[in-house]
Amino acid sequence: MSSPFTPKRILVAAYPKMKPAFVEAEAMSAFFKEKGIASAFGSLYDEELRKRVKGGEFDLLVAVGGDGTMLRAGHLCAPSGVPILGVNLGRIGFLIQIERGEWRDYFVKLLSGESWIEQRMMLRAEHSRAGEKLHSSLALNEVVVGRGQYLRPVQLNVFVDQRELTRYVADGLIAATATGSTAYALAAGGPILPPDLRNILLVPIAPHLSVDRTVVLSEGAAVNVFAQSENAIFSVDGQPPIPLMEDDLVSISAADVTAQFVRFGDPGYFYRNVTMHLNENSLGQL
């Protein structure tokens, strides 16, 4: 657990397609101002606010929405080293510790220095063709290389640290962080990893006569995925897919930046959060 964290310049950013989030965001910003803290609020997609985050004007971003909002906030804030505090207005909230009706109590704790910063590994995904780098992006949850609009499985040759691992014939392959182990990787049958681990998970999606088990790589390992099918695509954290050509390469490794989440209490919050959501799901309450 890191040392206590007390912010002085706060941006409250709401998911623009969730109208209640703006009402809550405005109330949160007003709360901070009443406490004498410099605060702004607006849309997470507002370009001017995004420039201010990248320019170092804020030392905390409060993300109001769901897990998708936290992913977008992570992409924005990690390169600038800005911590993120999530307030859940979404459906599940694996990444978020604070529910909608609890934020005032938690904000008091925040301003009293009763919080800490959790570091979460991100991935760097690079798309290359014939030795030329075409695209590079960060992932907080996962990188997926899989089939596109056609129902045919794809063939993927996978290397770990330049050594051949296996060839998959499958709907796709998920390369996930510990954070992503509770997202798509979980739905595909992968294990749940503690959030502080810096291992990459390789989880095949509907493999056909291929390795059908998750592989947990050593910390620091790098993955090369060669597409051997013309109908393959790759996607980062559920963003719009990018088409791949045969023999295209997707390289995946730990990024040189981390997502920083503001947390309260002991690290056991993670297991309580996960088991709560899984129990709710088993009872059909989601």
Give backbone dihedrals phi and psi of 45, rounded to 5 degrees, phi first: -100, 0
Q: Are residues 232 and 252 in the same domain?
A: yes
* 88: CB partners within 8 A, 6+ apart: 65, 66, 96, 98, 99, 100
Q: Are 158 and 168 in contact (CB under 8 A)?
A: yes
Name the more confident of 276 and 238.
Answer: 238
Domain count, the chain: 2
Sign of the CA dihedral 2, 10, 68, 112?
Answer: positive
Annotated catalytic, 67? yes
Q: Are residues 233 and 273 in the same domain?
A: no
With cut-offs at 50, 70 and 90, classify the pLDDT of residue 236: very high
Q: Are residues 206 and 99 in the same domain?
A: no
pLDDT at 285 over 50: no
Tens digit of each residue's pLDDT (9 = 90 or more) over 19-71: 889 999 999 999 999 999 999 999 999 999 999 999 999 999 999 999 999 99
Tens digit of each residue's pLDDT (9 = 90 or more) over 165-223: 999 999 999 999 999 999 999 999 999 999 999 999 999 999 998 889 999 999 999 99
CA–CA distance, 202 with 266 (Å, rounded to integer): 29
Active-site annotation holder among 59, 67, 247, 248? 67
Does residue 240 sit within a domain? yes
Does residue 2 sit within a domain? no
Closest Cα partner for 69 from 140, 126, 145, 136?
140
Q: Are residues 110 and 229 in the same domain?
A: no
Full-model pTM: 0.92
Domain residue limits at 227: 122-257
**CATH code at 271?**
3.40.50.10330
